Structure formats: structure tokens, C-alpha cells
């Protein structure tokens, strides 16, 4: 078993790095706060005897040696970055539980056959820099390093620049590094486990995703002097699109999702008709056909709206992930361990994307979920119970020991 | 007649203070650029022999003495501030044409009976600080100085602080100062004069206005894990409201106007459902009954949307101006001068609000419009023709001479 007090105290301490008045965390990727949390993670990992490597995307790997370091490692971990008004468990819980697993192995003087790499991925959230999960995407060879470095935040700064600025543009090259198995522990971010009084989610796969930027372009004119019938109001285009996109999601109920989360209006002045309305769109679906259907609907509706309102438009793809199934062996190990530890559990599909989705393309991978209160996540009020925290970390610890023997 | 070259060269020079790549101006109220333009206006006015006074709202008054300085003055001028992506004539044309009128009087060695005050009002645009026209509102006693100072921009800075910062928190008290007549020259900001090949608009009044802030409050949740049917998405509320508000405007065609120009979404992250969507609403109408009808529709629709989507809401009034009729004598003087100068003209109502609307509550007031190309304003592409520029300034000059004799 892991040491729950230690894990809890780390969680409490990391929650202070970017802590918000309402008990959440604002620790956007590659900010000074992210650097502070990274630095401290490195200190804690070194204390456990780990050696540190950092790749060109700023992904951090802390290795605990095994009996035979020529064997491919077990990879465990998650991400340190947060949403702008996010919770104190999303991501960081998986990183600190992985660290706790290594501390526990040290405490119990257990040496695994294989080395263990604790990983913290760069820019999982996709909030400051889109797309999400770009650190693991570059690591997995799904995206080029050039593309990764070029991702730009709303103020024009790139991931490449910001990595250098905070000192996490590493030189270690992991593209040739082979992983025996990869596990990520995370909060569910949905209500299913809690509603069913279950402690562990055995994650068998994840919804596919498609993200876009859509922009309507109209004409800025004086709101007081311009009659209603001659306007080309880009914000009306946005409004109609938001409603259509919501309908696209509802038509794919219960597992399809459609969300506009980000908007940027120009010139955004009270008495000026909008000439540019930019917004994000994201679709999620368990099937590729479902995603394609949503994609087609989007193009059709945006075109119709633009024609009706006499606007121009652009649709830019930002992220595309197929629905995926994790590795059956990894899934089975998590199931067996949950059973052995007597934790009520269920198999489930993740609605959220995770770095594990990318890693699953290059290594046997699965995930472990614990409940979060009322399914609330990407919200400062995100909360977990101590027994959930311990259960997840115990499953991780035991699954790592099991996988290392295989 | 005025000196067109001089006026044109001033316009060209002031357009550089905050000039944008697309030929517009970004010179928001009480920014460093606004200060720079104010400073230079003061220099030019002093060169013409004017004495300068500045009141507690930063309104600038440059006085040219008359034969009898105990007589109430003629007030002419407009505003120096601009929209964030505004044009190079809106406001500043009226200020510089007033300056040109004084320079011309000097050139022609004409001494008017009454003193002439050239005025530049603070925060006409209402873009950085809402409401618009607050400088003239405080001057006219329609709003308290406390309220004026307390207006806050999006970053939390107040008009009071910013006036001090740029050195324009004046000590001169004008509340007891009586105006014989007030004239403001401005571009039309609409297409009517150009479409009818007319040079001069004799402005008889202005549409009434009501401005609001509306906010929907929902719940921030993960966009990937939260099914469509349990969401409380504040941005959907905004979208439905934008469409309803547009319909409210269309139902009052042709003279009613309804616009959402500014939006602010929280947390504004791609994969987070919006928990707060704030937006501005403004209505304009020639009749008070029309405005009241729009106001009632707004309350009703916002309430309906909030109930349907399970959101909370707030509606905050920001500005309320009744439809108004300018002073018949001032209107008549502008008509006579236009006729005398042989400029094609028409009487018209202003769709835009102007400081003159506030001044008309305390002094005989009217306005002079010139065309602007295609009616485009509050846009970097705002443009006028040299002959329009001269015509407007000539009407102003001659109307001032006439009014000073009355
Ligand atoms: N787990 C998580 O919140 N990931 C961010 C990417 C996504 O929105 O799915
Ligand atoms: N003239 C002008 O653009 N005034 C700003 C206030 C308004 O929107 O009417």
C-alpha cells in the first residue's frame, strides 16, 4: 500500500502553486507557476533517487532503476499544467501518485525488474496552447517537433519560446525509446463512478475528438447609425453557430459532445457592429462515423449561416483524434489488481482526452480512473475524497509491480 | 472661408497619434496617446491666443476672447478619443474644425461679440469606459462627478485615476458657466447624405438610447465528460440572447437599432463549458415608447432564456438617453448658413449619440453633419472627401459668427 498522508500532503502543497481563492488552480502550461511546480517535482523525484531527463517538448522523465535497466521501462504519470480556472487534482494527481508509487517501492525496499519512468507531459490541457496533449503527441511521433514548438498562445508566444524562457527546452531525445507498458491514473472528470459507488474505473478507451477554430468576418459599422437590414454582424453568425453546434451535439446523445468554449470578438466595443467573431468548436464521439457526421454538419451549417448573414468564414482544424481502444493486457492487469484489492470497479470509456491516447499509439497503454465529486472538473470546485485518492494510487502501485514482471 | 490646407494638415497629423496600419486610429480615452493628442491640441489653441481651462472630468476648454467677455460664450468642438479600431475623423474633425474656425477668425481679423470656447470632451466613445459621453454628462450636471470618476475599464482602472495619471484632472469648475449657444460639427457616420449627394446635414435631434450589461451564469464543467443534457452553458444563453436582441431591433425597423457589440466569456477555454457569459446590449429608437418596448422585450427574453437553459442572469442598466430635439434657433442658423453658402443640405436625426445631446439639456444646441464615405464609421476605413471637410468647417465658421451676434 502507498503512504496516503505523504500523497495528500504533496497534493495540498502543489495546490498552492497557482492556487485560486475558490480552492482551484490556475497553472497554465509554461507559465512561471508551471515552472515552479515542475522544479519541485524534479526535486522530489531526485530525492527518491530518480535520474531526470527532459526532452525538446519539455516532457519530464524521472527514472527509478530496475533490476535490469536494459529492459524497456514501465511509464507512469500524467500532467502538471491546469486549466485557467481548473481543479487541484486534474493531472497533478496522476503525477504525484506515480511519485508516491516510487516512494512506496523505496519504503518497502522493492526493486522491480524493469525501470520505472515517472512522466509529466507538457501542455495536456490545450487551454493556453491548442491543441491539447501536444507534448505526448510529439513524443509519440504523431506531431512534428516543429509543429509542437510553433503552437501559439493568445498573446502570440510560442511553446518553443516559452520552453526556453522557463528552462525546460531539454536536449534528451526519446524518439527511439521503447516502452514496455504505460499507465495513467486520473480523476474521472465525470459522474459515473460516484453515482455507482465505485472506486476504480478501468478505462478501456476514449472518445474520438475533433477540434476547430471557426471565424466569421463581417463589417465593423456604427451601431447607432447602421439600420438593421444592411448589417454584416459577425457576432450574429457566432450566435447562430453556437446554437447549431449545440444541436449537433444533442443529435448524438448520449455519447456525442459538442462544445463552443472559447470566443473572441472584434473590435468588441459596445457601439460597434462586430466584424470578426472567432470561436473554438470541439466534437467528441465514441465512433468515427459519428465524428464524421458531426464534422459534415459543421461545414454545412457554417456555410449556410455565412450565406444567410452575408459573412465570410474560415474553418481551421486544430485537433483530430480517432476513438480508441487501450491495450487488453494493461486493461486486464488493472482489472485484476482492483479485484485483488477489493475495490468496487467498472470498465468505462473516457470522455476526456489524455496523453495516454497518444502513447497508446506507440506502447501498450491503459488508464485508471477514480471518482470526483459530482463529476465536476475543469472547475475550481473539483474535489476528491481521501479514500478515492488512496485507492487509485494503490491500484497504480500494484499494477506497476505486476506489469514489471511480464 | 476657412483654410482647407491647414485643417487638412492637422487632420493628417492627428491621425498619426494612434494611427493603425489600416489607416484608422486607436486612441482610447485617457491613454498615453489620448494625452499626446490633448497636449498638442492645447499647444495649437494657445498659438491662436486662446486661454485654456480644464475641468475635473478632463474636458478641455480653449477660449478666444470676444468684444465683451462678460457675455456668455459660443461653445464649439467635439472629442479627441476614438474607438479601439476607429476612424481618423470621428470626433477629432469637430475639434480641429473648431480650432480652424478660430484660426480663420484671427486670419480675417474678425472679433466676435461673444467669446468662443473650443471644447474637447472626455470619453465620448464609451468604448474604454462606459457609458459614452460621460465628460459632457458630468459637465451638464446629468451625472455626478463621483459617478464619472468611478467609471472603470476592463482592467479595473477608473476615469479618476487615469485623469490624474495623464495630468488632465483639472481644477476649473464649470458648473456655473452659462452657454449662449453650442454647435458640434461631426461626420454623419451613416450613408444618407452621400447617397443623396448632399454636403450638409442639419441635425434636428438624436435617437434615444438604452445601454445594458447582461450576464448569464451557468456551471463550468469538462466539455468531454459532460453529457449534453446536464449542461448549464452560459454561452448558449448568450447566443440565444444575441439572436433575440437582433430580432427586437428588426421589429423596430427602420429607425430602431439593437446591437450586442461586446462579449466576455469565462473561463474561455476550448474544452470547458462556459460558466459566465457577459455581453453589452444597446437599443436606439426615435420614440420613448419604442425604447420602452425594446426594454420590456429584453427583460422578458433574457428571463425566458435563463429559465429554459437553467442559468442565472443579471441585467445592469448602463446608459439611458431620451430621444431629443435640438434648439430651433440653432437649427435655423445652420440651415440659413448652408443655404447662403449654397451647400446642398437636408435636415436629419442623428443615430449616434453625441456630447451635444447632453449639452442640449443646459444650453441651446444643434449639430452639423458632413457625409462620410459609404456611411462607414467606427471602422479603420472611415473616410471623407476634402470638399466635405471644407464645407462643414465653413458652415461652422459662419454659424458661429451669426450666433455670436444674437
Ligand atoms: N483530461 C483532460 O481534461 N484533458 C484535456 C483534453 C480534453 O479536453 O480532453
Ligand atoms: N458619435 C459616436 O460615435 N458616439 C459614440 C456614442 C454612440 O454610440 O452613439
Average pLDDT over residues B194-213: 97
C-beta separation of A273 from A220 below 8 A: yes
Q: How many Å lie between the centroid of ligand 2 and the Cα of residue B357?
A: 11
Put simply, whether A377 touches B (Cβ < 8 Å) is yes
Residue A176 has pLDDT above 70, yes or no: no
Q: List all residues 6 or more positions away from B91 whose beta carbon is below 8 Å from its beta carbon.
A: B78, B79, B80, B81, B82, B124, B125, B186
Residues with CB under 6 A from ligand 2: A 222, 224, 271; B 90, 124-126, 132, 189, 352-354
Quote the minimal CA–CA distance from B220 to chain A in Å: 6
User: CB–CB of A272 and B239 under 8 A?
Assistant: no
The answer to whether A258 contacts chain B (CB < 8 Å) is yes
Q: Which residue of B has its CA nearest to A128?
A: B269
Whether A378 and B221 lie within 8 Å, measured CB to CB? yes
Q: Which residues of B touch A349 (CB under 8 A)?
A: none
For B383, which DSSP code? -
Contacts of B258 in chain A (CB under 8 A): 228
Average pLDDT, chain B: 96
Q: CA B239 to CA A305: how far, in whole Å?
A: 14
Which stretches within B15-122 are classed as H helix?
32-47, 92-107
- B263 - beta bridge partners? B279
Distance (Å, rounded) from C-alpha B130 to C-alpha B210? Answer: 12
Ligand 1 proximal residues by C-beta, below 6 Å: A 90, 124-126, 132, 189, 352-354; B 222, 224, 271
Helical spans, DSSP H, in B279-327: 288-309
**B305: number of Cβ within 10 Å:** 21
The answer to whether the CB atoms of A257 and B226 lie below 8 A apart is yes
Answer whether B8 touches A (CB < 8 Å).
no
Each residue of A214-258: pLDDT tens digit? 999 999 999 999 999 999 999 999 999 999 999 999 999 999 999
Q: Please determine, for residue A351, whether its predicted confidence score (pLDDT) is greater than 90.
A: yes
A350 vs chain B: nearest CA distance in angstroms? 7
CB B216 within 8 A of CB B304: no
pLDDT digits (tens, 9 = 90+) for A248-307: 999 999 999 999 999 999 999 999 999 999 999 999 999 999 999 999 999 999 999 999
**Which protein residue has the closest C-alpha to ligand 1 atom 8?**
B271
Strand partners, A324: A206
The pLDDT assigned to B176 comes to: 61
Peptide bond into A104 cis (omega under 30): no
pLDDT band for A389, please (50, 70, 90 cuts): very high
User: How many angstroms is it from B73 CA to the middle of ligand 2?
Assistant: 25
Instruction: Please report, for residues A162, B86, B152, B332, B360, the alpha-carbon distance to residue B353 in angstroms, rounded to integers and kept in the order given.
Output: 45, 16, 20, 21, 12
Q: Ligand nearest B206 Cα, by number?
A: 2
> Phi/psi of residue A369, each to 5°?
-110, 145
Q: Using CA atoms, how far apart are residues A13 and A4, in angstroms rounded to an integer?
A: 14
pLDDT at A172 (0 to 100): 82
Q: How far apart are CA B83 and CA A267, in angstroms?
A: 9
Assess contact for B197 and B377: CB atoms under 8 A. Answer: no
Is A271 in Cβ contact with B259 (below 8 Å)?
Answer: yes
Rounded to a whole number of angstroms, the distance from the CA of A109 to the nearest CA of chain B is: 39
pTM of the entire predicted model? 0.89
Q: Residue B172 pLDDT > 70, yes or no?
A: yes
Query: A76-110 burial, b for 16+ CB within 10 Å, e for fewer?
Result: bbbbbbbbbbbbbbbbbbbbbbbbbbbbbbeeeee
Please state the rounded mean pLDDT for residues A100-104.
98
- DSSP conformational letter for B50: -
- Encode pLDDT of B52-91 as tens digits: 999 999 999 999 999 999 999 999 999 999 999 999 999 9
Q: Which residue in the set A265, A378, A380 is minimally distant from B271, CB to CB?
A: A378
Contact between chains at A229 and B250 (C-beta distance less than 8 A) = yes
Query: How would you class A356 by CB atoms within 10 Å of its CB: exposed for 0-12, middle for 13-18, buried for 19 or more?
Result: buried
Report which DSSP code applies to A119.
Answer: E
Q: How confident is the model at residue B396 (pLDDT cuts 50, 70, 90)?
A: very high
Grid cell for residue B48:
491662436
Pocket test for ligand 1, best of A77, A85, A95, A126 (most atoms within 8 A of CB): A126
Helix or strand (DSSP H, E) at A208: strand A208-217
Q: How far is B96 from chain A (nearest CA, A)?
A: 22
Count of A-B CB contacts under 8 Å: 252
Chain B partners of A246 at a C-beta cutoff of 8 Å? 228, 233, 236, 239
Give chain B positions within 8 Å (CB) of A271: 125-127, 132, 259, 261, 282, 352, 378
What is the predicted pLDDT for the residue at B138? 95
What distance in angstroms lies between residue A91's CA and the mean position of ligand 1's atoms?
A: 9
pLDDT for the residue B154: 85
Chain-centroid distance, C-alpha A51? 25
pLDDT of residue A175: 57
Distance CA A287, CA A289 (A): 5
Q: What is the pLDDT of residue B173?
A: 75
Grid cell, residue B95, equals 475639434
Res B107: pLDDT: 97
**B261 Cα to chain A: minimum distance (Å):** 4
Output the residue whose Cα is nearest ligand 1's atom 4.
Answer: A353
Residues B13-17: what's their mean pLDDT?
A: 97
Is the predicted pLDDT of residue B51 greater than 70, yes or no? yes
Find out whether B160 and B343 touch, Cβ atoms under 8 Å: no
Torsion sign across C-alpha atoms B129, B130, B132, B138? negative
Atom of ligand 2 nearest to the CA of A223: 8
Annotated binding site of B for Zn(2+): 79, 90, 125, 186, 378
| Residues counted in chain B | 406
Q: What residues of chain A lie within 8 A of the CB of B316, using their CB?
A: none
CB B30 within 8 A of CB B130: no
Say how many CA atoms lie within 13 Å of A51 toward its Cβ: 5
Check: CB of residue A123 under 8 Å from CB of residue A132. yes
The answer to whether residues A291 and A272 touch, using CB atoms and an 8 Å cutoff, is: no
CA of A284, nearest ligand number: 1
Average pLDDT over residues B337-350: 97
Return the bridge partners of B304, or none. none
How far CA B157 is from CA of A245, B129, B164, B351, in Å, comes to 37, 9, 12, 30
A301 exposure class (CB count in 10 Å sphere: 0-12, 13-18, 19+): middle
For residue B285, which of A115, A405, A224, A166 has the smallest C-alpha distance? A224
pLDDT at A406: 87
Helix or strand or coil: residue A6? helix
Residue B175 confidence (pLDDT): 57
φ, ψ dihedrals at B320, nearest 5° = -145, 120
Closest partner residue to B236 (CB to CB) among A243, A282, A375 is: A243
Amino acid at each position: 500500500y502507498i503512504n496516503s498522508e505523504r500523497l495528500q500532503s504533496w497534493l495540498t502543497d502543489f495546490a498552492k502553486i497557482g492556487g485560486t481563492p475558490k480552492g482551484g488552480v490556475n497553472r497554465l502550461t509554461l507559465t512561471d507557476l508551471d515552472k515552479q511546480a515542475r522544479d519541485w517535482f524534479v526535486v522530489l523525484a531526485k530525492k527518491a533517487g530518480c535520474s531526470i531527463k527532459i526532452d525538446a517538448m519539455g516532457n519530464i522523465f524521472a527514472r527509478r532503476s530496475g533490476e535490469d535497466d536494459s529492459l524497456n521501462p514501465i511509464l507512469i504519470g500524467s500532467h502538471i499544467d491546469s486549466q485557467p480556472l481548473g481543479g487541484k487534482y486534474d493531472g497533478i494527481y496522476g503525477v504525484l501518485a506515480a511519485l508516491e508509487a516510487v516512494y512506496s517501492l523505496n519504503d518497502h525496499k522493492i526493486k522491480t525488474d524493469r525501470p520505472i519512468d515517472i512522466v509529466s507531459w507538457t501542455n495536456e490541457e490545450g487551454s493556453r496552447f491548442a491543441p491539447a496533449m501536444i507534448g505526448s503527441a510529439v513524443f509519440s511521433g504523431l506531431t512534428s517537433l516543429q509543429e509542437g514548438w510553433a503552437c501559439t498562445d493568445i498573446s502570440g508566444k510560442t511553446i518553443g519560446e516559452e520552453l526556453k524562457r522557463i528552462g525546460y527546452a531539454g536536449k534528451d531525445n526519446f524518439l527511439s525509446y521503447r516502452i514496455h507498458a504505460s499507465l495513467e491514473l486520473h480523476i474521472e472528470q465525470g459522474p459515473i463512478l460516484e453515482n455507482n459507488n465505485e472506486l476504480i474505473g478501468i478505462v478501456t478507451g476514449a472518445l474520438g475528438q475533433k477540434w476547430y477554430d471557426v471565424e466569421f468576418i463581417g463589417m465593423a459599422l456604427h451601431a447607432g447609425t447602421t439600420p438593421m437590414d444592411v448589417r454584416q454582424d459577425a457576432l450574429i453568425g457566432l450566435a447562430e453557430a453556437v446554437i447549431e453546434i449545440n444541436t449537433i451535439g444533442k443529435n448524438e446523445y448520449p455519447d456525442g459532445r459538442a462544445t463552443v468554449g472559447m470566443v473572441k470578438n472584434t473590435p468588441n466595443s459596445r457601439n460597434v457592429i462586430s466584424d470578426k467573431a472567432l470561436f473554438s468548436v470541439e466534437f467528441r464521439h465514441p465512433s468515427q462515423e459519428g465524428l464524421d457526421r458531426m464534422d459534415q454538419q459543421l461545414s454545412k451549417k457554417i456555410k449556410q449561416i455565412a450565406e444567410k448573414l452575408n459573412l465570410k468564414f474560415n474553418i481551421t482544424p486544430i485537433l483530430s483524434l480517432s476513438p480508441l481502444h487501450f491495450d487488453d493486457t494493461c486493461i486486464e492487469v488493472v482489472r485484476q489488481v482492483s479485484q485483488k484489492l477489493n475495490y468496487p470497479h467498472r470498465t468505462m470509456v473516457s470522455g476526456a482526452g489524455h496523453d495516454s491516447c497518444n502513447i497508446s499509439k506507440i506502447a501498450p497503454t491503459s488508464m485508471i480512473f477514480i471518482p470526483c465529486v459530482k463529476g465536476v472538473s475543469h472547475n475550481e470546485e473539483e474535489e476528491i475524497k481521501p479514500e478515492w485518492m488512496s485507492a487509485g494510487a494503490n491500484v497504480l502501485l500494484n499494477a506497476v509491480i505486476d506489469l514489471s514482471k511480464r
